[in-house]
Amino acid sequence: MAAVNSTESGQGLTHVRADGSAHMVDVSAKPETTREATAQAVVRTTTEVIALLSEGGLPKGDALAVARVAGIMAAKKTPDLIPLCHPLPISKVTVDFEMAESSLRIVATVKTRGVTGVEMEALTAASVAALGVYDMIKAVDKHAVISELKVLAKSGGKSGDWVLQDAGSGEGQ
């Protein structure tokens, strides 16, 4: 199979050289712009666990506070976890929660002023926040499922703004 390489037209994989080896993309010539990305993860659980989450009645304590801090910390550690991600000066991270009957939607937004986007940071924040929730609820629901990890929107940079159509709430999907 032939290796795919980046081209001026934007086709190909930017992290793969012509010989097929991976490398970190050189972003030094890119202009600095304000960039933002939002991602989500959904934790599917029971209605009883959602009630415990909303009341703060879990045996381990306040799951949402723990998950929020875990997500924020994870966004800042993304280049330590994802080998080809650039370290970025993150200026803002928010991790919010939307409860439904039997699911918890986690929405993470990351903002920077830099030369590359923050989609990976937003995905990392959402996924680690979901893992934090799972850790806090596993004593009462070992069968909880983490799903629907995806980028919902991004802005800034050469490719401009983008929003996922029909992002959904996570409930019933």
9 occurs within a structural domain: no
- Answer whether residue 4 is part of any domain: no
| Tens digit of each residue's pLDDT (9 = 90 or more) over 88-140 | 999 999 999 999 999 999 999 999 999 999 999 999 999 999 999 999 999 99
Is 139 domain-assigned? yes
For residue 12, being part of any structural domain is answered with no
Q: What is the pTM of this model?
A: 0.85
User: Of 155 and 4, which is predicted with more confidence?
Assistant: 155
The CATH number for 76's domain is 3.30.70.640
Q: Is residue 120 part of a domain?
A: yes
Residue 118: which of 43, 29, 27 has the closest Cα? 27
Question: What are the C-alpha distances in Å from 139 to residues 99, 109, 144, 165?
Answer: 19, 29, 10, 36
Q: What is the mean pLDDT of the chain?
A: 88
Q: What's the structural domain count of the chain?
A: 1
Residues taking part in catalysis? 135
Containing structural domain, residue 56: 38-156
